[in-house]
A and B are shown apart, each in its own frame.
Chain A
Amino acid sequence: GENVEQHPSTLSVQEGDSAVIKCTYSDSASNYFPWYKQELGKRPQLIIDIRSNVGEKKDQRIAVTLNKTAKHFSLHITETQPEDSAVYFCAATKREYGNKLVFGAGTILRVKS
């Protein structure tokens, strides 16, 4: 089955700096890679996703890149703000009906003001 590894486990950045979180996956058949943000005491919420037919996707200050050959994908947050502080989870799956998402271990991002 799929296995997703995520690094780093914690990341502290100064407000305005960039943050990068990296994930690797094991199953070459996986074709859907979402990123979830979970604020303290809240539910995980999708912030961006990418499919395997695309190498990069951007949404304002957030971008995700995918390297299918190396089986890794990364989340990039630019111009970080204190409200970006949260736990971020990557996930992977083969996007078929009923296929489960396999999550990475999570990254605690702290943005210091």
Chain B
Amino acid sequence: SAVISQKPSRDICQRGTSLTIQCQVDSQVTMMFWYRQQPGQSLTLIATANQGSEATYESGFVIDKFPISRPNLTFSTLTVSNMSPEDSSIYLCSVEGPGELFFGEGSRLTVL
């Protein structure tokens, strides 16, 4: 199984600011996924991040709002830009392992 570490685990942010979430995996993986889980809701894929190429965003998510970096095969960052209260969510990093998708513990953001 893959061990995924996310930082920060939680944060309270002011409207209009940006926050970068880090995701570290204990093994090299080609693809990393960023999901959003709004309060009491399901998991929605934001984007897929491949090392060495631009991230692929899902419908409704744009690079200007959620820029992603993928500098190597074990690390990725997701930035939530110009935050509003509607961005208050849990953001989860995930990777594919043998036979399943593994998730990090998530980063719980509250935007005031």
Give me the interface of A with B, judged by CB distance under 8 Å.
Answer: 34, 42-46, 49, 89, 98, 100-101, 103-106
**Which one of B41, B48, B99 has the greatest number of beta carbons of chain A within 10 Å?**
B99
Contacts of A89 in B (CB 8 A): 42-43
State how many residues of chain B have any CB contact under 8 Å with chain A: 17
Judge whether A98 and B104 touch: CB under 8 Å: no
Least Cβ–Cβ distance between A67 and chain B, in angstroms: 22
Known: A46-B101, A100-B45. 14 other contacts (CB 8 A): A34-B100, A34-B101, A43-B92, A43-B105, A43-B106, A44-B43, A44-B92, A46-B100, A49-B100, A100-B33, A100-B48, A101-B101, A103-B44, A106-B42
Inter-chain CB contacts under 8 Å: number: 34
In this complex, what residue of B is CB-closest to A93? B101
A44 to B33, CA, bound (A): 14
Least Cβ–Cβ distance between B45 and chain A, in angstroms: 5
Q: Does chain A have a CB within 8 A of B111?
A: no
Judge whether A105 and B45 touch: CB under 8 Å: no
Residues 60-72 of chain B, each 1 if its beta carbon lies under 8 Å from chain A, else 0:
0000000000000
Query: Which of B31, B48, B103 meets A45, CB within 8 Å?
Result: B103
Residues 33-47 of chain B, each 1 if its beta carbon lies under 8 Å from chain A, else 0:
100000001111100
In this complex, what residue of A is CB-closest to B99? A49
Least Cβ–Cβ distance between A88 and chain B, in angstroms: 11
A44 to B43, CA, bound (A): 9
Least Cβ–Cβ distance between A102 and chain B, in angstroms: 8
Judge whether A42 and B105 touch: CB under 8 Å: yes
Least Cβ–Cβ distance between A112 and chain B, in angstroms: 21
Least Cβ–Cβ distance between B106 and chain A, in angstroms: 6
A52 to B60, CA, bound (A): 30
In this complex, what residue of A is CB-closest to B59? A1
Query: Which of A43, A46, A101 meets B104, CB within 8 Å?
Result: A43
